[in-house]
C-alpha cells in the first residue's frame, strides 16, 4: 500500500481542502470511500411585491383581525371627518351667503377656541365616566348645532346668530383619542403592538385630512347644505359603528371604583399612588440597567415615588404640551405663508396641491413608520423627527417658487405623522391608560391655541413684509419649538424609558 495511505486521517485539517473529485476518488485504508458533504450556496429567495408588502404591513392586518377592532377603526375615521370638513364648509358657506371672509374667519376662530376649551374637559369626563356616557350626548349636541347652522344659512338669518351656534360646533367627541385608548386597553401593555396601533391610528387621522378638505371644498361649492348633511351622516355613522363594537371599551374610573367598593375620589387617590409606585419601580430598574449602583437607583425611585402628581399636569405632560403648542404655531404660520406666496405669484389654485403633497407624504411616513419594529430609543426618534421637520420647513425662507416648497414638503412631510405618533406614544408612557384620553385632548388643545396665536403673528408679518415675512416668522417659530422641546428633554427621556402602565387596579 502506498505510504501516504498508511498515515492516519487527521481530523483537524489545516491544509487547503481538496477538490471534490480528488476526495471522492481517494480510498480509505479499509477500502471504504470517504463521503464529503458538499456545501451549496443557498438560492436567494425572490419575493413578489405582494409578499414584501405582506411582510411589511402584516402587523396592521394582525391588529385588524382582532374582533371588533376594524369596526371601531372605521368608525373613528368617519367620526373624525368632522374636523377637516366643518372648518372648510363654514368658510365656503358663509362666503356664498353673506359674502364676508372676515365673518367666516371669525366664526372659524370661535369654533377653534371652543374646541380648545371644551376638548380637555370632555377627555377627562370620558376617562372618569366612560366613552359611551359622554360621547353620545356630545354627538347629540354637535348634531343639533350643525342642523341649526344649516337652517340659519338656508333662511338667511341675521349673521349675529352664528356667534351663538359656533361654540357648540366645537363640542366634538375625541374619536381619535378614544380609539387609541381602546387599543391600549385591548393590547394590555404589549409595547410593540400598542406602538404599531397608535401609528395606524395616526395614519387614519392623516387620511381624514387628505380626503376631508378636498371633499368638503367640492361638495360645499356645489351645495353647502349637502356638505353639512354629508358631515352629519359621517358623524352619526361613526357613532353607531363605534358603540356597537363589543368588549373593546376600557372601563371608566367610576366603574372600577364601584367594582373596588370605593368612592371615586378615594379610588383615584389610591390609583395615583399605585401609578407612582409602578413608575418608581421602573425607574429603579432602568437606573440599575444604566450601571448605577443600588443606592443611587433607590434614591431615584424614592424621588419618583414622592413626586406630586398634579392630576393631568405632570412635568413630562407639561413639557409635551409646550411642544404641541409650538408645533401648532409653527404649522399654522407655515400654512398662511404658503397661501400668501401663492397669491403673490398668482397661483392660488395650486396652494391646495402643495398642502396635499404634505399630507400625502405624511400619510406615507405614518404607514411605514408604524410597520417597522424600532430598536432605537423613543425619545431619540421624537427629537430627530422634530429637528428634521423644523429645519426642513424653516428652509422655506430660501424658496422663491411654489414648486420648491412642494419638493421640500414631499421630503420632510414623512416626518410629520411620525412626530405625532412619537408624541402619542410618549403620552402613553407618561400617564396611565385611564388618563390617556384627557391628556391627549389637552395636547390637541394646546396645539389649537398655538395655531391661533401663530396665525395672528404670521398674518401681521405677512401684511408688513409679504410671504417671506411669514417664512421668517416660521424660522423663529421653529427655533421656539426646539427650545421648548429641549427644555423638557430630561422629563421626556425619563418617561419614555418606562413601559406602558395599563389598567392598574386598587
First to last CA, the chain: 87
| Residues 329, 477 contacting (CB under 8 angstroms) | yes
| Residues 401, 238 contacting (CB under 8 angstroms) | no
pLDDT value of position 477 = 84
Q: Quickly list DSSP for 365-382.
A: HHHHHHHS---S-HHHHH
Please give the backbone phi and psi of residue 19, each rounded to the nearest 5 degrees, phi first. -70, 160
Distance CA 221, CA 152 (A): 18
Name the 3-class secondary structure at 4.
helix
Give exposure, 93-114, as e/b (b: 16+ Cβ within 10 Å): bbeebeeeeebbebbbebbbbb
Distance CA 314, CA 263 (A): 24
pLDDT value of position 413 = 84
> How large is the angle between the packed helices 224-242 and 191-222, nearest 10 degrees?
160
pLDDT value of position 44 = 56
Does this model's pTM top 0.85? My answer is no
Name the 3-class secondary structure at 457.
helix
pLDDT value of position 310 = 45
Count CB-CB contacts under 10 A for residue 185.
Answer: 18
pLDDT value of position 55 = 67
Name the 3-class secondary structure at 33.
coil
Residue 16 burial class via C-beta count within 10 angstroms: exposed 0-12, middle 13-18, buried 19 and up: exposed
Name the H helices within 34-81.
49-64, 69-80
Q: Quickly list DSSP for 205-256.
A: HHHHHHHHHHHHHHHHHH-HHHHHHHHHHHHHHHHHHHTT--S-SPPPHHHH
Least Cα distance to 148 among 137, 139, 157 occurs for 157
Cell, residue 253: 374610573
Q: What is the pLDDT along the chain (506 residues), one digit of tens a residue?
A: 444 443 444 444 444 444 444 444 444 444 455 554 555 555 555 666 666 666 667 788 889 999 999 999 999 999 998 888 887 788 788 878 887 767 877 787 788 888 888 988 999 899 999 999 999 999 999 999 999 999 999 998 898 899 999 999 989 999 988 999 999 889 887 888 888 888 888 888 888 877 887 788 788 878 889 989 999 999 999 999 999 988 889 888 898 888 888 888 888 788 777 777 777 777 777 766 666 655 655 665 555 555 554 455 677 788 888 888 888 888 888 888 888 888 888 877 777 778 878 888 888 888 888 888 888 888 899 899 889 988 988 898 898 888 888 898 888 888 888 888 888 888 888 887 778 888 888 888 888 888 878 877 888 888 888 888 888 988 988 888 888 888 888 888 887 877 777 666 66
What are the C-alpha distances in Å from 141 to residues 64, 75, 130, 289?
A: 31, 19, 17, 51
Q: What angle do CA 138, 125, 370 make, to 5 degrees?
A: 85
Amino acid at each position: 500500500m502506498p505510504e501516504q495511505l498508511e498515515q492516519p486521517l487527521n481530523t483537524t485539517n489545516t491544509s487547503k481542502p481538496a477538490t471534490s473529485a480528488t476526495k471522492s476518488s481517494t480510498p480509505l485504508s479499509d477500502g471504504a470511500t470517504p463521503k464529503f458533504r458538499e456545501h451549496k450556496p443557498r438560492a436567494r429567495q425572490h419575493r413578489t411585491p405582494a409578499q414584501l408588502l405582506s411582510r411589511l404591513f402584516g402587523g396592521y392586518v394582525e391588529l385588524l383581525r382582532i374582533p371588533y377592532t376594524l369596526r371601531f377603526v372605521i368608525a373613528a375615521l368617519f367620526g373624525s371627518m368632522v374636523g377637516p370638513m366643518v372648518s372648510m364648509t363654514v368658510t365656503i358657506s358663509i362666503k356664498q351667503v353673506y359674502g364676508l371672509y372676515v365673518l367666516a374667519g371669525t366664526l372659524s376662530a370661535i369654533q377653534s377656541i371652543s374646541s380648545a376649551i371644551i376638548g380637555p374637559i370632555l377627555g377627562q369626563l370620558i376617562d372618569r365616566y366612560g366613552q359611551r356616557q359622554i360621547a353620545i350626548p356630545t354627538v347629540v349636541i354637535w348634531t343639533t348645532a350643525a342642523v341649526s347652522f344649516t337652517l340659519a344659512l338656508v333662511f338667511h338669518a341675521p349673521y349675529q346668530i352664528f356667534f351663538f351656534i359656533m361654540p357648540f360646533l366645537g363640542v366634538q367627541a375625541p374619536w381619535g383619542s378614544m380609539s387609541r385608548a381602546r387599543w391600549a386597553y385591548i393590547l394590555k401593555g404589549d409595547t410593540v403592538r400598542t406602538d404599531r396601533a397608535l401609528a395606524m391610528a395616526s395614519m387614519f387621522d392623516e387620511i381624514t385630512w387628505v380626503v376631508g378638505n378636498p371633499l368638503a371644498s367640492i361638495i360645499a361649492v356645489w351645495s353647502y347644505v349637502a356638505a353639512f348633511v354629508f358631515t352629519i351622516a359621517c358623524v352619526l355613522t361613526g357613532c353607531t359603528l363605534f358603540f356597537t363594537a363589543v368588549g373593546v371599551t376600557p372601563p371608566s374610573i367610576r366603574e372600577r371604583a364601584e367594582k373596588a367598593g370605593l368612592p371615586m375620589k378615594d379610588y383615584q387617590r389610591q390609583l395615583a399612588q399605585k401609578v407612582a409606585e409602578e413608575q418608581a419601580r421602573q425607574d429603579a430598574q432602568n437606573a440599575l440597567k444604566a450601571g448605577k449602583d443600588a443606592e443611587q437607583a433607590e434614591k431615584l425611585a424614592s424621588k419618583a415615588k414622592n413626586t406630586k402628581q398634579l392630576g393631568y399636569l405632570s412635568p413630562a405632560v407639561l413639557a409635551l404640551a409646550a411642544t404641541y403648542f409650538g408645533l401648532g404655531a409653527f404649522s399654522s404660520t407655515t400654512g398662511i405663508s404658503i397661501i400668501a406666496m401663492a397669491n403673490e405669484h398668482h397661483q392660488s389654485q395650486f396652494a391646495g396641491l402643495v398642502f396635499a403633497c404634505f399630507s400625502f407624504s405624511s400619510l406615507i411616513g405614518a404607514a411605514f413608520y408604524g410597520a417597522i419594529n424600532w430598536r432605537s430609543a423613543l425619545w431619540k426618534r421624537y427629537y430627530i423627527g422634530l429637528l428634521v421637520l423644523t429645519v426642513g420647513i424653516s428652509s422655506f425662507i430660501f424658496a422663491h417658487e411654489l414648486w420648491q416648497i412642494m419638493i421640500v414638503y414631499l421630503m420632510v412631510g414623512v416626518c410629520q405623522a411620525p412626530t405625532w405618533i412619537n408624541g402619542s406614544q410618549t403620552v402613553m408612557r407618561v400617564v396611565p391608560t385611564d388618563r390617556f384620553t384627557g391628556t391627549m385632548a389637552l395636547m390637541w388643545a394646546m396645539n389649537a391655541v398655538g395655531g391661533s396665536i401663530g396665525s395672528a403673528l404670521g398674518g401681521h408679518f405677512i401684511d408688513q413684509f409679504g410671504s417671506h415675512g411669514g417664512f421668517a416668522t416660521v424660522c423663529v417659530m421653529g427655533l421656539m419649538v426646539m427650545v421648548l422641546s429641549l427644555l423638557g428633554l430630561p422629563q421626556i427621556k425619563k418617561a419614555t424609558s418606562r413601559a406602558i402602565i395599563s389598567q392598574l387596579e386598587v
